[in-house]
Amino acid sequence: MSTWLRNNQVPALAGLAAALLCAAIALIFFYAPVDEDGLNQKIFYFHVPIAFTAYACFGWGAWKGLLVLWKGRPGADLESYVAIHQGVIFGAMTLITGSLWAKFRWGVWWTWSERQLVLFLVLFLFYSAYFMLRYSLEPGPQRENLCAVYALFGVVLIPISLLAIRLAENYIHPVAFNKHGPQMATSQFATFMVALAAMVALAGALYRVELLGKRLDARLRELRELLA
Amino acid sequence: MNAYLADVAVLARKDLRLELRARSTVPAMLLFVVAALVVFHFALPSDSSELAANGMLWVAIVFTALLGLTRAFVAEREQRLIDGLLLAPCDRSAIWLAKTLSVLGFLVIAEVIALPAFALFFSGIDGATVAGVALADLGICAVGTVLAAMAVAGRARELLLPLLFLPLAIPIVVGGVGASVAGEPARYLGFLALYDAVFAIISWASFEYVVTE
Amino acid sequence: MIAARGLGRRFGEKRVLDGVDLDLPRGGFLLVTGPNGSGKTTLLRLVAGLLVPTAGELRVDAPRERVGFLGHEPLVYRELTALENLDLYGRLYRVAERRERIGMLLERFGLWEARNRRAETFSRGMLQRLALCRTLLHDPELLVLDEPFSALDEEGAALLDRELAELRPQATFVVSTHDPERVAALASDRLAFG
């Protein structure tokens, strides 16, 4: 069994992600108690795990970036890039689900009073610029280094931006929405954890699939060059 | 340590001397910041608060800084002059520090004109604002120098620098505007100091990797 | 002093250097020849430490402050005078008796009269000579010269000939040139590209 697992890591991970997602969706819609906000609150079970997963991707990307600079590991640059790519995808999903949540709860598509949402907007801008940086450079040692440094700057920016957004609330008078964080009963907590696991597994699976694809691409190019 | 500081001094003096002779960056920054303030006057409707104008000061500073930063490594790249510095035995981070100090110098000169102009066009400047400007300048130049070196490494360099810089400038703007308008500026000044410390350290440490080809 | 095994360098998709093996002892003179675009400049930049290899290994047994590099660009600041340029590099390399050494080099390359003129007023030949002053300023033990004779007029070339002959016993050389016959007598090793 374990050899099969080792040889088929990606399909196994994808299978796990699919299973967890199904479980999460089932729990979200049939098990978790309906809050006073109604079905709209269900979005919370998607939004927060997705946000969490995006952070995890950016963190992973920064870690791989550190490996590029510090240890000079050859595969680390690609892994960093793919992780950040996943992070941006999940970040975009965070913004979309957050916007939907805001629409359902308060009737507006955007609000500056949701700290997480504002943070993700800033991060989205930052990491989108990552791609602009990456594609303005030719592949090579310099591109790897620059992208790694930028990824590290990003991970430092996350807490600093959060602090900044909090501070900004003091002089930017937010529209006073009735905010209340979900008080989590056990059933809600369990559902949340399953959803979180599902999102992380999904990100992991997508990460591995994309890596596989890019590595195959690189290998193909290498072989073509050798033949030429 | 002395040798390190000596290298920084030599390089910073070189940049200042070059600017003194070429006179291309600082006059542009001066003109830009005043022009921007005039534009902001027309951009603020009459019932805007005084505080809105304060916010505009920070927009002017950030974009003026961008102007200076865009020029920071252009000559080094175009004539490959950075090679001369990379061949020398000095620490790469000394190059960063010297460049940061020289851009800081240009920015301060621009602000020596900008702040009185702002006081003239809009409203008075208090001590907290000046302190905020000073702290913000450090952060802007420290981070901006690394990003300028990155931007200049690839194609589309002038386009890339604002994209790289603006997200990182958001916390600086928050700190600066907060220091200008909020009741207790100390908190915001403290935040700016934190930003400066954190980003100066990682900029200093990472510059070497940014210039390795 | 210089050892390379399977040295390679890629720029994006293009492989400019591939599988270069090299062994240059201290005091040797490596002459690198080949057509434009064959990788000579890339090899010299790798040896000087301006590029890192993307494949293979390269070992250069000379610290940065003992390496002198002359590339296609003169690496002088246009708005500074010849003297100021050399003073800048002299300080960065912590050259002993800086002023005397600068004066001596400017004189040897016939630039003493122009020492207080800004580099932007120099002709291409004078810039090349100034670049040579910069290269030799810190008394390097490894000299990496990329087409040093280009842009030099007869007089400048003669000055360079004289310098190379004088420095030959004191340093290790890696020189690329379009005109190999000029330095063939000095060479101990040859590497042909292309």
The answer to whether the CB atoms of B87 and C77 lie below 8 A apart is no
| Residue stretches of chain A with pLDDT short of 50 | none
pTM for this entry: 0.91
Mean pLDDT over each residue of chain B, to the nearest integer: 92
Cβ-Cβ pairs closer than 8 A, A with C, add up to 13
**Residue B148 Cα distances to A8, B25, B76, B103, B207, angstroms:** 44, 15, 11, 11, 11
Tens-digit pLDDT profile for residues C112-157: 999 999 999 999 999 999 999 999 999 999 999 999 998 898 889 9
Closest partner CB to B182 (pick from A126, A161, A171): A171
Q: What pLDDT, on the 0 to 100 scale, is given for residue A64?
A: 96
Q: What pLDDT, on the 0 to 100 scale, is given for residue C66?
A: 95
Q: C55-60 and C29-33: which strand pairing? A: unpaired
Of the residues A149, A152, A166, the best mutation for testing chain B's interface (the one with the most B CB atoms within 10 Å of its CB) is: A149
pLDDT at B157 over 90: no
> What is the nearest CA distance from B150 to chain A, expressed in angstroms?
7
Q: Is the dihedral of CA A192, A198, A199, A204 positive or negative?
A: positive
- Amino acid code (one letter) for A74: P
- Amino acid code (one letter) for A43: I
**Between residues A180 and C79, the one the model is more confident about:** C79
Residue A57 has φ and ψ, to the nearest 5°, of -65, -45
The answer to whether the CB atoms of C79 and B18 lie below 8 A apart is yes
- Amino acid code (one letter) for B44: L
**Residue B55 Cα distances to B37, B49, B178, angstroms:** 11, 10, 9
pLDDT at B211 over 60: yes
The CATH superfamily label for domain C2-62+141-192 reads P-loop containing nucleotide triphosphate hydrolases (3.40.50.300)
Give the contacts of B182 (CB within 8 A, at least 6 positions apart): A170, A171, B188
Q: What is the band of B48 on the pLDDT scale with cuts at 50, 70, 90?
A: confident
Residue C113 to residue C102: CA distance in whole angstroms:
13
The answer to whether the CB atoms of A139 and C12 lie below 8 A apart is yes
With 0-12 CB in 10 A as exposed, 13-18 as middle and 19+ as buried, what is B47? exposed
Tens-digit pLDDT profile for residues C51-70: 999 999 999 999 999 999 99
The answer to whether the CB atoms of B87 and C69 lie below 8 A apart is yes
Average pLDDT over every residue of B52-66: 92
3-state SS track over chain C:
CEEEEEEEEEECCEEEEEEEEEEECCCCEEEEECCCCCCHHHHHHHHHCCCCCCEEEEEECCCHHHEEEECCCCCCCCCCEHHHHHHHHHHHCCCCCHHHHHHHHHHHCCCHHHCCCEHHHCCHHHHHHHHHHHHHCCCCCEEEEECCCCCCCHHHHHHHHHHHHHHHHHCEEEEECCCHHHHHHHCCEEEECC
Cβ-based contacts of A140 with chain C (< 8 Å):
10-12, 54
Q: C172-176 and C29-33: which strand pairing? A: parallel
pLDDT at B125 over 80: yes
Residue A163 to residue A122: CA distance in whole angstroms:
13
Give contacts of B 63-92 with C, CB under 8 A.
75, 79-81, 83-90
The answer to whether the CB atoms of C77 and B14 lie below 8 A apart is yes
Q: How many of the other CB atoms lie within 10 Å of CB of B118? A: 24
Give the contacts of B52 (CB within 8 A, at least 6 positions apart): B44
Question: Which residue reads 């680390």 in tokens?
Answer: A76
* A33 DSSP 8-state letter: P
> What is the nearest CA distance from A205 to chain B, expressed in angstroms?
30
Cβ-based contacts of B170 with chain A (< 8 Å):
122, 161, 164
**Between residues A34 and C160, the one the model is more confident about:** C160
Cβ-based contacts of C12 with chain A (< 8 Å):
138-140
Q: Is the dihedral of CA C35, C41, C47, C52 positive or negative?
A: negative
Q: What pLDDT, on the 0 to 100 scale, is given for residue C35?
A: 87
Cβ-Cβ pairs closer than 8 A, B with C, add up to 66
Q: What are C's interface residues with A at a Cβ cutoff of 8 A?
A: 10-13, 15, 52, 54
Taking the CA atoms of residue A69, residue A74, residue A80 and residue A86 in that order, the dihedral angle to the nearest 10 degrees is: 180
Query: Closest chain C residue to A143 measured between Cα atoms?
Result: C12
Cβ-based contacts of B14 with chain C (< 8 Å):
77, 80, 88
Q: What is the band of B92 on the pLDDT scale with cuts at 50, 70, 90?
A: very high
Query: Closest chain C residue to A137 measured between Cα atoms?
Result: C12
The answer to whether the CB atoms of B171 and A125 lie below 8 A apart is no
Q: What pLDDT, on the 0 to 100 scale, is given for residue A26?
A: 82
Contact (Cβ atoms closer than 8 angstroms) between residue C41 and residue C194: no
Q: What is the band of B186 on the pLDDT scale with cuts at 50, 70, 90?
A: very high
Closest partner CB to A125 (pick from B155, B157, B167): B167
pLDDT at B65 over 80: yes
Cβ-based contacts of B178 with chain A (< 8 Å):
167-168, 170-171
Residue C28 to residue C2: CA distance in whole angstroms:
10
Taking the CA atoms of residue A121, residue A125, residue A131 and residue A136 in that order, the dihedral angle to the nearest 10 degrees is: 170
Q: What is the band of C42 on the pLDDT scale with cuts at 50, 70, 90?
A: very high
Q: What are A's interface residues with B at a Cβ cutoff of 8 A?
A: 69, 122-123, 125-126, 128-129, 132-133, 136-138, 140-142, 145-146, 148-150, 152-153, 156-157, 160-161, 163-165, 167-168, 170-171
**Between residues B154 and B89, the one the model is more confident about:** B89
Question: Comparing A163-167, A168-172, B143-147, C74-78, which segment has the lowest mean pLDDT?
Answer: A168-172
Residue B28 to residue C70: CA distance in whole angstroms:
35
Residue A153 to residue C107: CA distance in whole angstroms:
49
- The side-by-side arrangement of strands in the sheet containing C2-11 is C14-24, C2-11, C55-60
Of the residues B21, B81, B87, the best mutation for testing chain C's interface (the one with the most C CB atoms within 10 Å of its CB) is: B87
Taking the CA atoms of residue B40, residue B44, residue B46 and residue B48 in that order, the dihedral angle to the nearest 10 degrees is: -120
Question: Which residue reads 């999102």 in tokens?
Answer: A199
Distance between alpha carbon A188 and the CA centroid of its chain, in Å?
A: 22
pLDDT at B201 over 70: yes
Closest partner CB to B22 (pick from C67, C71, C79): C79
- Amino acid code (one letter) for B192: L
- Amino acid code (one letter) for B166: L
Average pLDDT over every residue of B30-55: 87
Closest partner CB to B171 (pick from A123, A125, A160): A160
Residue A99 to residue A130: CA distance in whole angstroms:
24
Nearest to B179 by CA among B132, B130, B136, B127: B132
**Between residues B201 and C193, the one the model is more confident about:** B201
Residue A87 to residue C23: CA distance in whole angstroms:
47
Residue B115 to residue A118: CA distance in whole angstroms:
30
Contact (Cβ atoms closer than 8 angstroms) between residue C6 and residue C21: yes
